[in-house]
């Protein structure tokens, strides 16, 4: 099996939305609550492919896109924030999410003078374990009292560089 990390510009508009929709298909409330954000994210990256290719990539297994990750560099050198990070359902729990995250962290670490990498996630996902497995430390937990209360508490992690 061949795992690669490819430029987003090599794919068609809609792929980011498609991957997110599949990754969160275990509970249709995710798409209902986040679907519009996912579409806007996809549109933004495909309208700005130079940004997409610098601050994200698509993970490809045997020529099939199986996930993607992106990050926001606008607060550098103080921090870079990891944004969307997903692996499609049938490839979860096989280590691909961890490898994708490791690759992103490796790329982000190359920014000169960067102080830390941060990420926010939800407590009822597998994501907290993934972030902890590559060195992120939990900095804050906040109770979720929003309409998306099904998603669990909000967790905020960081890696100090």
Cβ–Cβ under 8 Å, residues 134 and 98: yes
How far apart are the C-alpha atoms of 23 and 87, rounded to whole Å?
Answer: 6
Domain with 70, as residue range(s), is 3-160
CATH of the domain at 120: 3.40.630.30
Residue with tokens 């994210």: 41
In tens digits, the chain (161 residues) has pLDDT values of 799 999 999 999 999 999 999 999 998 888 998 999 999 999 999 999 999 999 999 999 999 999 999 999 999 999 999 999 999 999 999 999 999 999 999 999 999 999 999 999 987 777 888 999 999 999 998 887 776 666 678 899 999 99
pTM for the model: 0.93
Please state the domain count of the chain: 1
The angle at the Cα of 151, spanning 22 to 44, to the nearest 5 degrees, equals 50
């Amino acid at each position: 099996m061949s795992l690669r990390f490819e430029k987003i510009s090599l794919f068609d508009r809609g792929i980011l939305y498609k991957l997110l929709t599949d990754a969160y298909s275990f509970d249709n409330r995710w798409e209902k609550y986040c679907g519009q954000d996912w579409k806007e994210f996809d549109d933004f990256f495909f309208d700005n492919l130079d940004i997409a290719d610098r601050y994200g990539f698509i993970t490809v297994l045997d020529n099939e896109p199986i996930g993607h990750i992106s990050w926001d560099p606008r607060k550098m050198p103080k921090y870079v924030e990891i944004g969307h990070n997903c692996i499609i359902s049938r490839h979860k729990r096989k280590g691909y999410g961890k490898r994708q995250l490791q690759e992103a962290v490796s790329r982000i670490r190359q920014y000169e003078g960067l102080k830390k990498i941060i990420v926010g996630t939800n407590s009822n996902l597998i994501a907290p374990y993934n972030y902890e497995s590559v060195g992120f430390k939990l900095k804050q937990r906040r109770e979720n009292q929003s309409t998306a209360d099904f998603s669990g508490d909000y967790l905020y992690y960081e890696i100090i560089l």
